[in-house]
Copies of this chain bind each other. A is one copy, B any other.
Amino acid sequence: MTEKAIQDFYPDDLSHCYGCGRLNEHGHQLKTRWDGDETVSFFEPWPEHIAIPGYVYGGLIASLIDCHGTGTAAAAAYREAGREPGTEPPFRFVTASLNVRYLRPTPMGVELEIRGRVEEIKGRKVVVSATVTADGELCATGEVVAVEMPERMVPGRG
């Protein structure tokens, strides 16, 4: 597992995402790292992230899979290009589609483990499958189709 997360290499002007931006002080600040051929991130839901008392609300699970998916896509794009994260130009992905299957209620009060696997990488598109586990129990699975961010969305370059 590398020390720095992929999100730590995002340029400042692309680091404000509520889900994973290191510069969004109100957000989740998710950190995606390689662990062999998979990626992993961890997040402990906040006390208010309730669905019904005792369980995590589904929107958070979707958000974690989403940001872990685009982070994994960026990390995979650097690997595919044979470049280190942090080298120019930066890779940054947005989500084209997101699927989440909620397999069982996700308990509050434990750190969630989100794992990603690159299923396909082709041109500007990366498909990532993901799992969300709590206390060793698989709670949700998902799939993110991520595409490289259009140049027009990049601040100052649109």
Contact = CB atoms under 8 A, between A and B. Distances in A.
A36 B152 CA distance: 38
Given A58-B98, A63-B59, A52 B18 contact: no
A59 B55 contact: no
A22 to B, nearest CB: 13
A139 interface: no
Interface string A9-30: 0000110111101001111000
Q: How many copies, total?
A: 2
B62 A98 contact: yes
Contacts of A49: 18
A67 B57 CA distance: 9
Q: Which of A51, A53, A55 has the largest number of chain B CB atoms within 10 A?
A: A51
Contacts of A154: 52
Interface stretch (A77-85, A89-97, A117-125, A130-138): A89-97
Contact of A53 (B13, B50, B51, B67): B13
Contacts of A109: none
Interface in A42-68: 48-55, 57-60, 62-64, 66-67
A155 to B, nearest CB: 5
Given A24-B50, A48-B18, A153 B55 contact: yes
A4 interface: no
Interface of A: 13-14, 16-19, 21, 24-27, 48-55, 57-60, 62-64, 66-67, 94-102, 105, 149, 153-155
